[in-house]
Chain A
Amino acid sequence: MLHRKAAWLLRETGTGCMAEWDGMEAQSFRQEARAWLRANFPPSLTNAPSIHFVSDRHAAESNADWRLWRERMAEKRWGVPTWEPRYGGAGLSEAQAKIIGQELAAIGGFNPIRSYGTMMLGPTLLEYGSEEQKLEHLPFIATNERRWCQGFSEPGAGSDLASLQTKCIDMGDHWLVNGQKIWTSGADQADWCFALVRTDTSRKQGGISFLLIDMKSEGIETRPIVLISGSTHFCEVFFNDVKVPKGNLVGEVNQGWAIAKRLLQFERNSLSDVKAEITPLAPLAHEYCGTDSMGRIDNPDLRVRMVRNAMRHEAYLATVARLTREAKSGGPSNGVSALKNLWSGIIQERAELLVELMGANGLGWSGEHYTDAEREATRAWLHSKAFSIYGGSYEVQNNITAKRTLDLPA
């Protein structure tokens, strides 16, 4: 009986009034957000493939409505609503930011400010950057005028990132950088690069520093890489005697690994947070495979695999929602690695199922004998193979889950 009495007591003395007040406040903010977003989001961009605008600057900036939408959101400061005003944000609460996101999603909209800057560098600078660095860079990230690329991986440092070799020498009045980066997303379109460089060769993790490099510096060359999907989004970047101002080092010298780990947490968080399109595959499968006498997709084996994938997808989205609610601090949690692996597995399988249900029509590379959707599906399937490699491979994520979350011994 004790349980029940204690619970009654809690109920009677609860904070019901406070919650109600918050509710009213949120309601009026929601109305304000809804009205502004509906008035300002260009209808031509409804349900546009927004991730494409993040990765391909040219595609974004050659679209007049995208430019208009970026300008409006930049001025409204709702691209990074929770950042402080002096850094280009609107100084809003997490709850208000969530409302903006929900209202945006409700009209099929997207955030045109979203970039590697807002997802990765920005949160990292907020934690580790000097006030000068924050003021110099955050306001331009907040307007998405300054595009960033991530100079982490090297030919000899992929999953074993800490073995990176790009040399950074202290020349007294500047840093001198020499080396090569690879798999640098959008390097050929970026204005700046946040890079991991080696400032001490005697220690592995303890000899890495975090450096901000202007891509217009002399001695930088970028070369796009052609991938199996035909994409040329990733680049090689070569540094030949590149001079970098002393003030561009974030945190302390040789503290870069800790900063990078934090940044990778933000990256994993944003990767697994992407609400990938969950357009059900069922209607397409009926179209391509036909319907049996019971009204089912006429390919029992494929049907079962599609259903299982769709159910896992729904459970995954419920998991993102649940972990977001649970993360009271707002920062990424230890469970992020497990989440990234669930996400990549589910989305990869879905991409493959889409190609499979199209049968022979899912094999085309170009030409009018295949529809746009068919060719896109094929390339998306090939592209999806990267999901379990980038941002820390499937195997590296499992290592992290085992050691950090499950506390298994090294």
Chain B
Amino acid sequence: MLNEEQQMLRDMAAEWVRDRLPVTALRSLYGHDGGGRPDAEGFDPAAWTEMAQMGWTGILVPEAQGGSDFGCRSMGLVLEELGRTLGASPLLSSALVAASALRLGGTEAQQARWLPGIADGSAIGTLAAEEGSQHEREKIALAAMAVGDGWVLNGIKRPVQDGMAATFAIVAARTHGLPGDRDGITLFLVESDTPGLSREALDQIDARRPALFSFDNVTVSADAVLGEVGKGIDLLDSLFDRAAIGLAAEMLGNASQAFDTTLDYLKTRVQFGAVIGSFQALQHRAAEMFGELQLARSAVEAALDAMDANDPALPALASLAKATVGETLHGISSQMVQLHGGIGMTHEHDAGLYLKRARVAAQCYGSTAWHRERWARLNGY
């Protein structure tokens, strides 16, 4: 159950998102042909400043570093509301994933250096770990070589979520072993303007513009290492799980709004002399979607609570949440197009925007299939 301050946060987030980041705001990130606008950053910087002013960027930052330490459930509420209107921002990448990385693995000095910036929105962090297309967490090839007191990084990362907006990234590199080994992975804090690091935007169907990072002899000092050298995989696993749960909260918002919008259409669209929502075939489809949404919400809330409680079952609950909401959102966003008929196929209507975001989100931080397989192994299947 939500406490009073959480209810207040959710209500205010709902109001702000509707007012400031409605679906039309996302439209401005799209070009005329339906792709991302090349000159757009994949989010609205002015809205980001307001989000920081409201304290959302500091929800997971300790009070000593300028945050409010409101917890993951509270962060989930904001992400869910943003998900309702497909609100694009680096909140998940920075305020949840990067903040968690520093809190879980950072030294006091690293926390003092980065967390205040995350909290006030002046710094935007992200996770640069993926290289292949199948979310194989250990299959990291980007090489880090010890040179003198520091390290030299060479290789590529893609997709890096919110990579064009990020001022720094947590980069997963290989310091020994081979791609696929769990041992030998080290995490580094790398600033985006470090010489040798170049970034290119990926024109993705949801107009968010994640990035391809290329590392060409990027030199960082020893204090850029986050956690222990060669032992980064456990922290990386934990970050991916937290990212998946945060994204699941956003997807719950996507699915809830896609359902509400579709339900409204069923109540207003007239064909054959009747409101189409009076047809039993469509009523039953709506009833089934409602049931699936219940399962998704429970799985997501349980996972958010598990983050706050540091529950040892977090990996299984993260996979349960991501897979459950992934399947639900896939079904509802597809039905959103189907039940809107011809208008749902047009770029002018919102249905396609939900469908595209659903596909991206389903893939991001481990697909539904990936998380189902992972849950299966954790549970002895």
A interface vs B, CB < 8 Å? 1-4, 6-7, 10-11, 14, 280, 282-283, 285-286, 295-297, 303-304, 306-308, 310-312, 314-316, 318-319, 321-323, 325-326, 335, 337-339, 341-342, 395, 397-399, 401-403, 405-410
Contact = CB atoms under 8 A, between A and B. Distances in A.
A111 B291 CA distance: 29
Given A285-B381, A315-B296, A342-B291, A409 B267 contact: yes
Given A6-B8, A7-B9, A310-B379, A398 B287 contact: yes
Nearest to A7: B5
Contacts of B381: 282, 285, 296-297, 303, 306-307, 310
Interface range on chain B: under 10, 10 to 19, 20 to 34, or 35 or more? Answer: 35 or more
B372 A307 contact: yes
A408 B286 contact: yes
A3 B379 contact: no
B284 A395 contact: yes
Contacts of B280: 399
Interface in B66-86: 68, 70
Contacts of A338: 287, 290-291, 294
Interface string B42-76: 00000000000111000000000000101000000
Contacts of B9: 3, 7
B81 to A, nearest CB: 13
Contacts of B267: 407-409
B372 A304 contact: yes
Given A325-B1, A409-B275, 10 more contacts: A2-B54, A3-B55, A286-B380, A338-B287, A342-B295, A395-B284, A401-B290, A408-B267, A408-B283, A409-B278
Interface stretch (B29-37, B298-306, B329-337): B298-306
B266 interface: yes
Given A3-B12, A7-B9, A319 B320 contact: no
A393 B376 CA distance: 32
**Smallest CB-CB A-B distances: 5 pairs:** A402-B283, A318-B298, A401-B287, A7-B5, A398-B287
12 contacts: A1-B53, A4-B55, A286-B380, A318-B301, A321-B298, A335-B294, A395-B284, A398-B288, A402-B284, A405-B290, A406-B286, A407-B267
Interface string B272-287: 0001011010011011
A311 B323 contact: yes
B372 A311 contact: yes
Contacts of B278: 408-410
Interface string B3-16: 01100110010000
B320 A315 contact: yes
Interface of B: 1, 4-5, 8-9, 12, 53-55, 68, 70, 263, 266-267, 275, 277-278, 280, 283-284, 286-288, 290-291, 294-299, 301-302, 320, 323-324, 372-373, 375-377, 379-381
B147 to A, nearest CB: 39
Nearest to B319: A311
Which of B54, B373, B381 is packed against the most chain A CB atoms within 10 Å?
A: B381
Nearest to A320: B298
A388 to B, nearest CB: 13
Nearest to B16: A3
A296 B375 CA distance: 12
B298 A315 contact: yes
A308 B5 contact: no
Contacts of A2: 54
A60 B79 CA distance: 52
A248 B265 CA distance: 48
A409 B273 CA distance: 13
A125 B100 CA distance: 54
Nearest to A319: B298
B286 to A, nearest CB: 6
B54 to A, nearest CB: 5
Nearest to A345: B291
Contacts of B68: 4, 7
A172 B170 CA distance: 85
Contacts of B287: 337-338, 341, 397-399, 401-402, 405-406
Nearest to B1: A325
Contacts of B5: 6-7, 10-11
Nearest to A318: B298
A286 B380 CA distance: 9
B266 A408 contact: yes
A372 B295 CA distance: 34
Nearest to B56: A3
A113 B278 CA distance: 43
A318 B299 contact: yes
Contacts of B1: 325-326
Nearest to A9: B5
B299 A408 contact: no
A337 B287 CA distance: 9
Nearest to A342: B291
A21 B266 CA distance: 50
Nearest to A297: B381
A188 B301 CA distance: 46
Contacts of B324: 311-312, 315
Nearest to A308: B372
B281 to A, nearest CB: 10
Given A399-B280, A408-B277, A409-B277, A341 B291 contact: yes
Nearest to B284: A398
Nearest to B13: A3
A3 B16 CA distance: 11
A88 B294 CA distance: 36
Given A282-B380, A306-B381, A406-B263, A314 B320 contact: yes
A119 B320 CA distance: 32
Contacts of B299: 314-315, 318
Contacts of B377: 295-296
A297 B381 CA distance: 6
A315 B174 CA distance: 37
Given A310-B379, A406-B263, A406-B287, A319 B295 contact: yes
Contacts of B320: 311, 314-315
A1 B54 contact: yes
B371 to A, nearest CB: 9
